[in-house]
A and B are shown apart, each in its own frame.
Chain A
Amino acid sequence: MTRIFAYIVHRGGVADDSAAELIAAAKKIDATASPTAILTGWGPDFDAACSSLRSSFGEIWKVANQSLAYPNAELVRQALVRVLPPDSILLVPHDHFGIDLAPGLSIKLNAAFVSDVLAIDAADGNSLNLVRQEFGGQVSAHVRCDISTGAVINIRPGAFKPEASATASGVVLDKSSAVSALSARRRYVETIVAESGDVDITKHSVLVSIGRGIQEKENVIIAEELAEALGAAVSCSRPVVDAKWMEKSRQVGSSGKTVRPKVYLACGISGAFQHLAGIKGNPFLIAINKNPKAPIFQIADVGIVDDVLEFLPELTNKVREARGVAAK
């Protein structure tokens, strides 16, 4: 069977949650296979991250190079090309880095590439059957991929439930020598951190999150009143920020903040994957949406088909009553 590798994203000495998801995805390709972790980086944090994977991976390939201290996709790509055996399958999380790295990598490896995969059926011969979504998540598609010369597969974060890992006694193999001087015509300069604004949504355990269903800026107050009654904060999806109804610091999603609340009220949010990618920790998700076919209802715990502009004030009243505050 083709060798399966999982590219591990790490920060501050800790591996990202996606590592466990990639293991689950690998198992779908080949239940018997044990994927090899592959990481790039530099420094003590990097070493720590590699070590931390010992309990989940049998083999960990460590590619250390000073120029890889910051994950520049152009440089990482070059490194991986030198290190990966031919015809391998590489799993990568489909995030801003994976989008940057994977397509070009697949060309350099002369491997197939499939993006943003939600589900995998077992490999049959030289083909892999995968499930993707199209049209903003409105329909799903079965995709067949020829893996005879290997593949790079981007896995949608959160799509594969991490299983309790079989305890492995991982061995860290240092592959750094295969990579010498790396240079690229794209150089990392700096990261500009987004302004935090007055409310830090990542610190709240209950979020009232609004999407396009709020319809206009003047209606945001409906959500704010509910949040106030609940002692929660208002967050939002990307379209709300694009329309300038809320600050960027309130956005939950792959290009916004990652939140780990206990309770998440998705109000007028359709459930696009980029938004859901920002919700971690499996909170209790209550979805309110006018459209009964909204994708959010597939992942929510509780769903209500209603107009948020009508439902939220009603809920606010109930909360206030319960708290002994006079309902308005």
Chain B
Amino acid sequence: MEILVCVRRVPDTSENEIELNAAGNDIERDELVYSINEADNYAVEEALQIRDRVGGNVTVVTVGAEDDEEILRRQLAMGANQAVLLYDEAFIGCDGKGIATILKDFVQKGHYDLILTGVQADDGAAQVGGMLAAMLDYPFASLVNAITVEDGRLKVSREIEGGNREINDVDLPCVLSIQTGINEPRYVGMRGIRQVASVPIPTVGASDLGIDDDAVGEGAAKVKRTDYFVPAASRGAEMLHGSREENAEKVLELVGAKGGLK
């Protein structure tokens, strides 16, 4: 099975303190540590496990710039067969639809049975997978937490409310967005990355994809972020500032007052 995984390099929220910069219009990016978006990592692991079960090929792709090569290389070290960087000046400033457009043109240049993305990235938009599927006219399922390969189809489980699982039958080719926790991703260490240090990662640009510059990039974007900010604590909680004992007593009092003590 030919599997494509669309990945993204994001600031690692667990190893960074996300703060506004001095000008107050962006986050402080100086000392950020980046890594692959967590959900994308699960997606790659899932792709590798499917490939190891039924045979095939796993390609990882990202829309980005030179800095993003590092995560592609990491996924190669993890076991992906090839990696591609989609880069062009024209791509800068894309919104979600722009990214999906670029990916769509890339997909159409090749042949993929299964396309995976992570369910959402650091901006929490959870949009590229669904958009890509619609552009390609492929069936789509989001929040996927289990995949079984059948003949020309997949049995896919989606995470819905209450911890329940919605089981669907999906025809190939299709696009799925993968939820965290679907598997246990394997470890990739520095040694693994060194071993793939010289594997070439081709860069593909707008002309290679036959993309019209007008269709992507900042000019084409309909959704733009104008700034970052931290909201003034409008309501916020009433903070208790006593000693631990005093606070505990107050909480006990409040719980009782609200009908919480039977």
Contacts and interface: CB of A to CB of B under 8 A. Distances in A.
In the complex they form, do A and B come into direct contact, defined as C-beta atoms under 8 angstroms apart? Answer: yes
Given A141-B229, A142-B229, A304-B251, A186 B139 contact: yes
A99 B161 CA distance: 13
A191 B130 contact: no
A193 B157 CA distance: 12
B123 interface: yes
Contacts of B164: 191-194
A190 B134 CA distance: 24
Interface in B239-259: 239-240, 244-245, 247-252, 254-255, 258-259
Interface residues of A, number: 88
A141 B169 contact: no
Interface in A272-292: 284-287
Contacts of A205: 259-260
Given A139-B228, A230-B260, A230-B261, A318 B248 contact: yes
Q: Could you tell me the dominant secondary structure of chain A's interface residues?
A: mixed
A184 B225 CA distance: 34
B141 interface: yes
A135 B160 contact: no
Contact of B119 (A99, A146, A242): A99
A283 to B, nearest CB: 8
Q: Is the interface of B mostly helix, strand, loop or mixed?
A: mixed
A140 B235 contact: no
Contacts of A191: 160, 164-167
Interface stretch (A26-34, A53-61, A214-222, A249-257): A249-257
Given A194-B165, A230-B261, A263-B258, 15 more contacts: A99-B130, A99-B143, A100-B143, A105-B134, A107-B97, A114-B223, A115-B125, A139-B18, A141-B226, A145-B222, A191-B165, A263-B255, A298-B233, A303-B236, A319-B252
17 contacts: A72-B168, A96-B159, A100-B142, A102-B130, A103-B130, A104-B133, A132-B225, A135-B18, A141-B225, A191-B166, A242-B180, A249-B163, A263-B255, A286-B254, A303-B237, A304-B240, A322-B252
Interface of A: 72-74, 77, 95-97, 99-108, 112-116, 129, 132-136, 138-146, 184-194, 205-206, 230-232, 242, 248-249, 251, 254-258, 262-263, 265, 284-287, 296-306, 310-311, 314-315, 317-319, 322
Interface of B: 11, 13, 18, 20, 27, 96-97, 100, 119, 122-131, 133-135, 138-143, 155-171, 174, 179-181, 222-231, 233-240, 244-245, 247-252, 254-255, 258-262
